[in-house]
């Protein structure tokens, strides 16, 4: 039997016969006993939210709203959100990036904004500007997640922007339910789901896709991140193993290659890091009827760019990951 009458207000991890989060019986019915959402549902206000009108008015100046999700943590979702925002900004779009991963925010670090504060104006909270056309809501954090998410949408003065990218926490939690409920009233374009190739990640991504289908959020596509290691041979480090341990042989190896086979210096070394023998994200997308946006290889230079809070598109260092990301962004814009 289905939960909640199919009204789209039933959490993905709810008990069977869930009455729905907006029901007067939410958190109180017998079916709610033992549900991980019971306390949230029991204390949350029921019925139409008076703040939704304010959110709709605030979001009226935002043309496109994109939610970035992942079924599991550690798959590079926030790195993708940050680089997606940089890429859109480089295409001359006005872009906002909102981090609602309240318990583990990564975006301030990845945009080089650690320690920055927002400022209050008569129009609301002013975002922190990364570039002239990319800004980020770096806002105080607190225990009342749903109330904070509402404030992010209602009180931040984004101004006239083309894209608002929302970096959500992994999984399907009350933050997801809140952001979906609020953004659906304003017209959400859909969600991008980030995964890695192995089955342990794809199992959770399937749940994420089902969550989107259940609550009526279009899946814009799935990105397979960390899809193999791709590294120019010249960037590799070489070691020699001996009885006394390892010794660095990088300089010797590269000099040998330059002398004996210089053409190899332009070769990119590839290796599978995660098991993708079962088809990875691409096969899963075919099975579930959702778009596959592409693969992003594991690139140490991309990791370095994220650590330093900069775009991977401004120089040629991210030679394997930047073209893959640009291809995904172009495909995403075409599908909108």
Residues making up the annotated binding site are 18, 32, 35, 41, 71-78
Strand partners, 309: none
Alpha-carbon dihedral sign for residues 303, 307, 311, 316: negative
155 to each of 30, 51, 60, 118, 158, how far by Cα in Å? 37, 11, 13, 12, 9
Contact 294, 224 (CB under 8 A): yes
Residue positions in the annotated binding site for ATP? 71-78
Strand partners, 248: 239
Residue positions in the annotated binding site for [4Fe-4S] cluster? 18, 32, 35, 41
Contact 280, 227 (CB under 8 A): yes
Query: What residue has token string 């009350």?
Result: 174
Rounded-to-integer distance, Cα 153 and Cα 24, Å: 26
């Amino acid at each position: 039997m289905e939960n909640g009458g199919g009204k789209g207000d039933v959490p993905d991890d709810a008990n069977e016969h869930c009455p729905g989060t907006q029901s007067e019986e939410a958190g109180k019915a017998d079916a709610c006993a033992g549900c991980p959402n019971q306390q949230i549902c029991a204390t949350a206000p029921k019925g139409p939210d008076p703040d939704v009108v304010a959110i709709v008015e605030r979001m009226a100046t935002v043309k496109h709203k994109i939610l970035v999700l992942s079924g599991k943590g550690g798959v590079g979702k926030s790195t993708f959100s940050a680089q997606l925002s940089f890429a859109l900004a480089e295409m001359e779009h006005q872009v906002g990036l909102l981090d609602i991963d309240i318990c583990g925010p990564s975006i301030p670090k990845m945009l080089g904004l650690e320690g920055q504060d927002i400022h209050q104006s008569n129009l609301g909270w002013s975002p922190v500007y990364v570039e002239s056309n990319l800004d980020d809501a770096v806002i105080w954090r607190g225990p009342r997640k749903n109330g904070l998410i509402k404030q992010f949408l209602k009180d931040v003065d984004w101004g006239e922007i083309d894209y608002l990218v929302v970096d959500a926490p992994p999984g399907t939690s009350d933050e997801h339910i809140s952001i979906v409920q609020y953004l659906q009233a304003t017209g959400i374009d859909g969600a991008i789901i980030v995964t890695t190739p192995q089955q342990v990640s794809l199992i959770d991504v399937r749940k994420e896709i089902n969550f989107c289908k259940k609550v009526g959020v279009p899946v814009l596509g799935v990105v397979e991140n960390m899809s193999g290691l791709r590294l120019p041979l010249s960037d590799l480090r070489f070691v020699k193993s001996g009885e006394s341990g390892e010794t660095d042989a990088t300089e010797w190896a590269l000099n040998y290659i330059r002398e004996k086979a210089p053409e190899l210096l332009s070769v990119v070394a590839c290796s599978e890091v995660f098991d993708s023998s079962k088809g990875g994200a691409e096969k899963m997308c075919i099975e579930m009827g959702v778009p596959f946006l592409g693969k992003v290889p594991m690139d140490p230079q991309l990791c370095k760019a994220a650590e330093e809070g900069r775009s991977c598109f401004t120089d040629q260092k991210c030679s394997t990951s930047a073209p893959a990301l640009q291809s995904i962004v172009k495909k995403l814009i075409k599908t909108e």
